[in-house]
Structure 1
Amino acid sequence: MSSSAAGRPDDPVAALAELTEAQRQQAMRRWRLLRPHLEDGVAITRLAAATDASPRTLHRWLTAYRNDGLAGLARRPRADKGRRHFPADLRLLIEGLALREPRASIATVARQAAAVARDQGWPIPSYATVYDIVRRIDPAMATLALDGEKRYRDVFDLVHRRQAERPNQIWQADHTQLDLWVITPAGRPARPWLTVIQDDHSRAIAGYAVNLGAPTALTTALTLRQAIWRKSDPGWHVCGIPEIFHVDHGSDFTSLHLEQVMADLRIRPVFSLPGRPRGRGKVERIFGTVNQMCLSQLPGYAPRGTRDRAGRAQLTLAELDTAIGTFIRTIYNHSPHGETGVPPQQRWESASFIPRMPDSLEQLDLLLLTIAKPRKIHPDGIHFQGLRYLDPILAAYVGDSVVIRYDPRDMAEIRIFHTGHFLCRAICPDLANHTISLKDITAARNARRRDLRAQLRDRASVVDRLIEAHQVPDPMPLPPPAAPAEAPPVRRLKRYREE
């Protein structure tokens, strides 16, 4: 009988594909034994005599081949494979012992399970049996029981991964403490922080900042300012105001100041749930790239898990900033991305769109500044943070209340706003290279006094002129008062004869 006459399953290719490699090799060996009978008609008895298989086994294989094709010749696993021939409660006991905290060793679980089984009259499980049961525990259940709900959510929860359809639709921001030591201005080693803002669509880095201190709202604002405004480097074109700013729920992202900034720029903030930083894996992978491709080539690099290398710190913060900036501009943004296959800068530019920009850099500079601080202008200037700030313009506003804004990176000057309008930049003589002389201050005060006197004269002349114009003259002059008449003598009572 030929193989074409034999029965076949509906989809033999699919049935064969379900077999393991070992099962397929076993099916081919059995088919080669049956091939003389299938193609040349050799009797089963002759085949059995020439092989180690019995005629009964060959007949069984032949029936399986005719019914199920080549896949029928593979040995099927036992229907009860993996099932234990002891009470289900014993299996649950072993799993429960393995899932208790603190995590117990397999030997401890085996001893405890054997003691319980002996008391219950159950079969005593061997170490191999206990090991196999523990190994087959659902990893999700083991993670939830032993590592906690947070770890379970991070590993096994179903996550919706958002994907921006165009550049500047979604930006992501995050911080990390770098695996590198630098030298602070005080001469001590320290591990700096890196803040990165990434465009979700192109994976391009729009802005970054390197700081010694822990992340703050100001750090984020300064990085966002750099990301939004046009770059001076001709090869770094990423800029504009994003539609959505996706950040975590840290205090540096949820500050009132940053919320006001995003409201002014019409940016919709999207916050991760507290303790659940979902959907920000793209920006977090950048930190690994920076560590591996940039920091590992710099002195002072100390990856986690290695011995403390603080003593090897050589770079200053400014030098590290330059190194990271060069890596972002020349390597990262212009290298094909592992997921998109396109360099981030090229993918951002390929959309051929005009990014939404602020009206001016002056408006965007508000991102540099802290929350507005009310102050009063004193005769000797504005007092702030134990410093004194002066400008000749302030002479005209002594006693007025103003709002000051300042850049903490440069305390040499502050910006002063009066009734909502920018007034001037006041200088701290102790910090700034430019100092204001006493002559300038005196001239400003004298000019202010002259201006006030002129205003007083103008008002006095107006008052005098208007009062004189509105005086009404009397119709008839009154006669002068008459001289008083001489009073008659007054008679007095005489009391003595001589009077």
Structure 2
Amino acid sequence: MHRRTATRPNEQWQADHTLLDVAILDRRGNPVRPWLSVILDDYSRAVAGYTVFTGAPNAEQTALALHQAVRAKPDPAWPVQGLPEVLYSDHGADFTSTRLERVCLDTHIRLIHSRVGVPQGRGKIERFYGTITTEVLPHLPGHIPHGTGGTPTSPPALSLEQLDAVVQRYLIEDYHARVHSETGQAPATRWIGAGWIPRAPARPEDLDLLLLTAATTRIVQRDGIRFHGTRYICPVLAAYVSETVTIRYDPRDAGEVRVYHQDTFLCRAIAPELAAETITLQQLQQARSARRKELKQQLRARRSLADALPADDRWAPPPAPAPRPTAGPPAEPASRHRLRTYATD
């Protein structure tokens, strides 16, 4: 039996989704099961990019995972980046979408789909999912043993952001640094090899335009762009005050946005208060909602205290004295109006 294996890094990437055996809490506090999308390098077994999300898999989540895979990572311990020669996936609706085909066409990536009903070609990425299932998920609250019908062994306690942080820490600190039993090398070490330069997109801003599907329009103000209560600034925006622009952003990093004017890339605008750390858009929205609730509670408490205080009438003018009745003859009752008659009538 012939088993196809890549001969160098970034020759072939595999992409797939899986439903994780763990329950987490969504924004409303309800338990849900998240999905994991992974893009795996066939040669080194290193994870190039991933995304954790709730809901059904779609093209947006695939685009976010591919965007992370292509770009350089902030952590130098995660070296995988660049463009692959082949992207291998199944026949899911998100992998066969027109957007993904356009991305592969513009970046010169050969898109190959596996045969319908034949999952053997995706055995390497399925093995990675098995590693996640056996080594990470059993130690998390809300773990669901495989084949138990979706009943967690403990109450769910993690949010989506916390689960994302756990997966990333496991990849960098454990999986990429540990010797793989089949290749005999750590995935990060095998991907670097003897040193080579990965193929990069000619225009990274065009890749952002294709892969960052979350977009909205804003009007440029004198002090920058306002988005979800946060100010984003860039010197280039000074020439576009009062004009409408399109911003594209990564929901996992609200520290910066990409600004486009009539589908032309202008700049990257950053939020000064968020530039020093990575914060997701959902965390930003939750922080704003919590602050709004706190202010409303303070207003209610102050109104209650103000209503309980006695009225301050120290400087109010004294009431006017009531007029005294004057002694005299009793007043005649008012006569009723009658029709007057004259002698000449």
TM-score higher than 0.5: yes
Match of 1:370 among 188, 213, 216: 213
Does residue 350 (structure 1) correspond to residue 193 (structure 2)? The answer is: yes
For 1:213-228, what aligned pairs fall within 5 Å after superposition? 213-228=55-70
Q: 1:291 aligns with which of 133, 140, 143?
A: 133
Contact 2:72/2:79 (<8 A) preserved? yes
Partner Cα separation in structure 1 for residue 210 and residue 218 of structure 2? 23
Question: Is 1:231 paired with 2:73?
Answer: yes
Q: Structure 2 vs 1, CA of residues 424 and 206 (structure 1 numbering), >3 Å: closer, same or farther?
A: closer
Are the structure 2 counterparts of residues 372 and 254 from structure 1 closer, same or farther at C-alpha, using a change threshold of 3 Å? farther
Partner secondary structure for residue 208 of structure 1: strand
Confirm or deny: 8 A CA contact 2:89 2:95 kept in the other structure: yes
Post-superposition CA distance 1:417-464 (Å, at most 9, x none)? 4454235799xxxx8x9xxxxxxxxxxxxxxxxxxxxxxxxxxxxxxx
Distance in 1 between residues matched to 2:254 and 2:172, nearest whole Å: 30
Contact 2:66-2:211 at 8 Å conserved across structures: no
* CA displacement 1:256-311 (0-9 Å, x = unmatched): 11111111111111111233334111011101100111111111111222261286
- 1:320 shift after superposition: 0.8
Instruction: Name 1:280's counterpart in structure 2.
Output: 122
Seen in structure 2, the aligned counterparts of structure 1 residues 251 and 405 have a Cα distance that, compared at 3 Å, is farther
The separation in 2 between residues aligned to 1:305 and 1:415, in whole angstroms, is 44
Measure, in 1, the Cα distance between the counterparts of 2:31 and 2:261. Answer: 43
Give the match's secondary structure for 1:201: coil
1:321-340 alignment runs, 5 A limit: 321-340=164-183
In the TM superposition, what is the alpha-carbon distance from 1:209 to its structure 2 partner?
A: 0.9
Q: How far 1:364 sits from its partner (Å)? A: 3.2
Larger radius of gyration: 1
Mapped contact 1:369–1:405 kept (Cα < 8 A): no
Q: Tell me the CA shift for residue 182 of structure 1.
A: 0.5
User: In the alignment, does 2:9 pair up with 1:167?
Assistant: yes
What does residue range 84-483 of structure 1 map to in structure 2 within 5 Å? 160-306=2-148, 308-309=151-152, 312-359=155-202, 361-370=204-213, 404=246, 406-407=248-249, 409=251, 417-422=260-265
Residue of structure 2 in register with 1:112 after alignment: none
Structure-2 separation of matches of 1:284 and 1:309: 23
**Count of residue correspondences:** 259
Which string of whole-angstrom CA distances, capped at 9 and with x for unpartnered residues, describes residues 144-199 of structure 1?
A: xxxxxxxxxxxxxxx64211010000000111000001011110001100111111
**Residue identity opposite 1:341 in structure 2:** G
> Alpha-carbon deviation of 1:356?
1.0
SS in 2 for 1:279: helix
Partner Cα distance (1:336, 1:311) in 2: 32
2:258–2:268 Cα contact (<8 Å) kept: yes
* Residues 242, 267 of structure 1: 8 Å contact kept: yes
Q: CA deviation at 1:396?
A: 6.8
Partner of 1:8: none
Structure 1 residue runs without a partner (length 5+): 1-158, 378-390, 434-499
State the shift of 1:406 in Å: 3.5
What are the ranges of 5 or more consecutive residues in structure 2 without an aligned counterpart?
220-236, 270-284, 288-345
SS in 1 for 2:13: strand
Please state how far the C-alpha of 1:235 moved relative to its aligned partner.
1.2
Describe the shift of the 1:209–1:372 C-alpha distance in structure 2 as closer, same or farther (beyond 3 A): closer
Cα distance in 1 between the residues matched to 2:63 and 2:26 = 23
Contact 1:184/1:190, CA 8 A, preserved across alignment: yes
Question: Aligned to 2:119, what secondary structure does the other structure show?
Answer: coil
Letter in 2 for 1:219: Q
Cα displacement (A) at 1:217? 0.9
Report the CA distance between 1:329 and its aligned residue.
Answer: 0.8
Q: So what's the TM-score if we normalise by structure 2? A: 0.65
Give the 3-state SS of the residue equivalent to 1:328 in structure 2.
helix
How many angstroms apart in 2 are the aligned matches of 1:164 and 1:287? 20
Q: Deviations over 1:465-492 (max 9, x none)?
A: xxxxxxxxxxxxxxxxxxxxxxxxxxxx
Whole-angstrom distance in 1 between the partners of 2:265 and 2:47: 33
Q: How does 1:26-37 map to 2 (within 5 A)?
A: none
Instruction: Provide, for residues 23-49 of structure 1, a one-character-per-residue CA deviation record: whole Å limited to 9, x for no partner.
Output: xxxxxxxxxxxxxxxxxxxxxxxxxxx
Residue equivalent to 1:91: none
Once residues 107 and 205 of structure 2 are traced to their aligned partners in structure 1, the CA distance between those partners, rounded to angstroms, is: 13
* Paired letter, 2:28: A
Name the structure with the higher helix share.
1
Structure 1: how far apart are the matches of 2:44 and 2:241?
52
SS in structure 2 opposite 1:280?
Answer: helix
- Partner amino acid for 1:370? T
Aligned equivalents of 1:207 and 1:415: distance in 2? 20
Query: Judging changes above 3 Å, is the alpha-carbon distance between structure 1 residues 310 and 359 closer, same or farther for their aligned structure 2 residues?
Result: farther
Q: CA-to-partner distance for each residue in 1:338-379, whole Å, 9 max, x for gaps?
A: 211211111111142111122454333224422999x999xx
**Are the equivalent residues in 1 in contact too, given 2:69–2:82 (CA < 8 A)?**
yes
1:57-86 deviations in Å (ceiling 9; x for gaps): xxxxxxxxxxxxxxxxxxxxxxxxxxxxxx
- C-alpha deviation, 1:415, in angstroms: 6.0
Q: Which amino acid aligns with 1:325?
A: Q
Q: Aligned pair in 2 of structure 1 residues 311, 237: CA closer, same or farther (>3 Å)?
A: same
Residue 412 of structure 1 and its aligned partner are, at CA, apart by 12
